[in-house]
Amino acid sequence: MGIGDGGSLSNTHTQVAGRPLFVKLIPELSVAALRARLNKELALWYELRAINVTGCGRLVLNDAVVALVSSFGYSVSTAYRLLKAGDGRFWDIYQSPRLPGHSQIKIYGVFRVAEWFNICGVSRPVEIKASDFKGRKVKRAWFYASFFKPDGSRAKPISRDSIKAATGVLRRQQQRYDKVVGIKRVANFAFYQNGKGLVGLFELVSGKCKQWRVLRRLGNIYHSRALKAHRGMTKKVNGELRQRSLERGEARLLKRFFLSAKSLIRSPERHDEAFLLMRKRDRLIRGRMEWCLV
């Protein structure tokens, strides 16, 4: 089974008895769908992959609609409407040669969907319970949340403006989604090294009558309540996508935040103002996220 067919990164194991149904979200696809306003169709693609527990990438149309209605709260008419809207983009609907009179759905693989969105790489999927993935607003919020690392993972600071540029979600809507799906925020602070040790980077903040010197805040770190999913064929899919990206000569973004000195040294694409996360034992205040200007 190749990476371009319905088996890529799909649920290749039979659903374990007693285990709740989970939906896997791929961050880059979710963000691309939000920007393209195709989140409803991609949500259905995720759900079709979730109910395709054998991983074969094919479902009988009528059976799929019944499963969508029972597991995700669709009406029959909405399920058929979205299936028609996504036909040729995220799946194919065709007459089954083995089941006369029945239509089947062939679910596209991650590689094909990523190519359609013109994405050059995908990261590790995250998963949430199907029971938590219901309602248009909630699904959009989970698409937005999948952009962030799951709780317990190491992540980098990012500003609200950068989140808006990446996801297309406006600042105020970001804050609403944070509440809907329980996004956690962690503050980050900027420092620099002098001959005596770590020193805070201060900046002036102006009020109506006076100014204050405050320790410079970097963007927050955000964590979602989603769980880490198995990597599946992520590595193989990325190999193909990166090869296509190299063929097109796409530029790579400059990195600004580094989680270790090793990654800093190895990075050829470094921002003019780069920061390195300080080791826990070197921080001035225990538990505070401190980044050193390099």
105 and 13 housed in the same domain = yes
80 and 174 housed in the same domain = no
206 and 172 housed in the same domain = yes
For tokens 């193909």, what's the residue?
A: 240
User: In terms of residue numbers, what domain contains 59?
Assistant: 1-146+226-250
What confidence tens digit (pLDDT) does each residue in 212-244 have? Answer: 899 999 999 999 999 999 988 889 999 988 877
34 and 132 housed in the same domain = yes
In tens digits, the chain (294 residues) has pLDDT values of 344 444 434 343 334 445 689 999 999 999 999 999 999 999 999 999 999 988 899 999 999 999 999 999 999 999 999 999 999 999 999 998 887 888 999 999 999 999 999 998 999 999 999 999 999 999 999 999 999 999 999 999 999 999 999 999 999 999 999 999 999 999 999 999 988 888 999 998 888 888 889 999 999 999 999 999 998 888 999 998 887 766 555 556 789 999 999 999 988 888 889 999 999 999 999 999 999 999
194 and 116 housed in the same domain = no
Q: What is the DSSP letter of 144?
A: H
193 and 294 housed in the same domain = yes
- Taking the model in full, what pTM does it have? 0.85
141 and 193 housed in the same domain = no
Helix (H, G, I), strand (E, B), or coil: what is residue 289? strand
Domains: count for the chain: 2
185 and 111 housed in the same domain = no
114 and 181 housed in the same domain = no
67 and 94 housed in the same domain = yes
214 and 106 housed in the same domain = no
174 and 231 housed in the same domain = no
What confidence tens digit (pLDDT) does each residue in 114-142 have? Answer: 999 999 899 999 999 999 999 999 999 99
Q: Which residues pair with 290 in a beta bridge?
A: 189
Q: Is the dihedral of CA 66, 71, 74, 78 positive or negative?
A: negative
Whether the CB-CB separation of 276 and 292 falls below 8 Å is answered with yes
